Amino acid sequence: MYDTIIIGAGPAGLTASIYLQRAGKTALALEAMAVGGQIRNTPEIENYPAIAKISGMQYSDDLAEQAKALGATIKRENVKSVQLVGDVKTVVTRNATYQAKSVIIAVGAKSRELGVEKEEDLFGCGVSYCAICDGAFFAGKAVAVSGGGNTAIDDALFLAERCSKVYLVHRRSEFRAEQIKVEQLKSKSNVELVLGYTVDALEGEDCLQGVVVKDKQGGTRRLDVSGLFVAIGKIPNTDMFQGQIDMDDQGYVVAGEDCKTNVDGVWVAGDCRAKRIRQLTTAVADGTVAALGAVEYVRG
């Protein structure tokens, strides 16, 4: 019987592990993929306070080592099912069944991909899913953004302040984003709206050298860019919690700034929480808040 089981060992989950260990609680962190989460795939991190520059892999390794040095238990196991309601929480993996007094959900969210050839190969070498994270690497260069919602517009506005040219590629003639943001974007002299097009192909071997877009009639156009920012949404990894916990219509777990869910003894942290901003700093903040909440709950 653990005090807390953390489902997910990315920045939010590992931060929660650190705080639980420092509070003298027994905790188990379970991670299906690589320990450290998706941030491992980020070539460079330059926006984390007090760390001028670090690779995502190095950051993840350092965070995991810090947690382990404090005595954290981290296991590479894929969670198959959970039972969250009740005083005793049960988490079932392929290898074992674990029980705890509390649970922190930190399963993250994956970026929705375009599904075009070379997308995976060029990730981190021109293809990005986070303009705030990677935009600075394309200062003075031409880039493209794919999407039509608020995130895509925000990304394009952010990039327009740094890049020589920004193409916004959207499959419709109208945007789903707030109109005031769209008008702001239209006022930018270095932004070109490429409406009625979708990304059809990526050019380049080691790094992105261009993007081919296609309209509904099959006509194509090549955009000479060195960066492509995909902003067509994220998919939270929360399917296993359906029916047990409150979620919004996109599958994000509903919780306020206290990270407490509607189920007693269950918290949520990181990118799978329903919120506006999803950054490395907000993930570790959630991990801190959730862990301290769990500590208080276990103490009674």
Q: Which residues are catalytic?
A: 130, 133-134
Q: Give the C-alpha separation, 156 to 191, whole Å.
A: 8
Cα separation of 200 and 222, whole Å? 10
Both structure tokens of 93: 């993996």
Q: At residue 266, what is the residue type?
A: V
Which pair of structure tokens corresponds to residue 150?
């608020």
Cβ neighbors of 225 (< 8 A, separation 6 or more) are 141, 142, 143, 144, 165, 167, 208, 210, 211
| CA separation, residue 129 to residues 38, 42, 110 (Å) | 11, 10, 10
| 98 contacts 81 by C-beta, under 8 angstroms | no
Question: How many other C-beta atoms are found inside a 10 Å radius of the C-beta of residue 260?
Answer: 18
Would you tell me how many other CB atoms lie within 10 Å of the CB of residue 297?
17
- 4 closest CA partner among 103, 97, 74: 103
Residue 217's contacts (CB-CB under 8 Å, 6 or more residues apart) are: none
User: Is there a contact between 95 and 84 (Cβ–Cβ < 8 Å)?
Assistant: no
CA 216 to each of CA 61, 212, 286: distance values in angstroms, whole numbers, following the listed order: 45, 14, 43
Distances (CA, A) of 64 to 18, 93, 169, 271, 277: 9, 21, 38, 18, 24
